[in-house]
Amino acid sequence: MGMKSRLIPDTSITASSMFDVLHSPQLSRLDTKVNSVAGSWAARTNNTGEWLQIDLGAKRALGGIVTQGRPKHTQWVVSYTVSCGSDENDLDEIAKDGKTLVFDGNRDMNTKVYNRFPTVMSRRYVRIYPQATHDWMSMRVELVSTECFYSANPFI
């Protein structure tokens, strides 16, 4: 939906914190590899409550998410929750049957993990809240539109 292709501008990718400028939210694009140090967003702390947010600029149909860990380092998000909304100050957690969904994340640095949302939703803001990590809270992401689920190669 624009992370990897850079249709989503750097200014639309924010986070609760970043470890340093080499691990800014703008490096959270799927398949990013900058150098031997950088290549993903990494939070300043490894505590629950940190988040990565993507502003799509307008409401768009969301169907899921793809995640990766930090390249060249054994750091990744093992599980996470997602909140979405049309106003960044009024986000709703993605839930099923009244329970917040905890999505399975990564088990290594580079393998892409795909998660579909339980329903298609039209939202502008997507905020990812890591719940468990391996070594450190680091991740790369892409959002998936509904059209991707019906194509021959559903994920980029």
Domain ranges across the chain? 10-150
**Beta 103-104 vs 76-87: how paired, if at all?**
antiparallel
The average pLDDT across 26-53 equals 92
Give the residue from 52, 62, 56, 64 showing the smallest Cα distance to 133: 52
**Percentage of residues of the chain with pLDDT beyond 70:** 94
pLDDT band at 88 (very low <50, low <70, confident <90, very high): very high
What is the second-level CATH architecture of the domain 10-150? Sandwich (2.60)
Give the span between the Cα atoms of 142 and 8, in whole angstroms: 10
- Give per-residue burial for 115-153: e unless 16+ CB within 10 Å, then b: bebeeebebbbbbbbbbebbebbbbbbbbbebebeeeee
For the whole model, what pTM was predicted?
0.92
pLDDT of residue 149: 52
Cβ(122)–Cβ(60) under 8 Å? yes
The average pLDDT across 20-31 equals 95
Give the residue from 28, 67, 47 showing the smallest Cα distance to 131: 47
Q: Which residue has the tokens 């502008």?
A: 124
The average pLDDT across 2-24 equals 96
The average pLDDT across 3-24 equals 96
Give the residue from 29, 41, 34, 116 showing the smallest Cα distance to 76: 41
User: Residues for the chain: how many in total?
Assistant: 156
The lowest-confidence range among 4-13, 32-41, 49-58 is 32-41
pLDDT band at 38 (very low <50, low <70, confident <90, very high): confident
Residue 28 pLDDT greater than 80, yes or no: yes
Q: Which residue has the tokens 């680091």?
A: 138
Give the span between the Cα atoms of 78 and 82, in whole angstroms: 14
Give the span between the Cα atoms of 86 and 58, in whole angstroms: 8
Residue 153 pLDDT greater than 80, yes or no: no
pLDDT of residue 142: 97
The average pLDDT across 99-125 equals 96
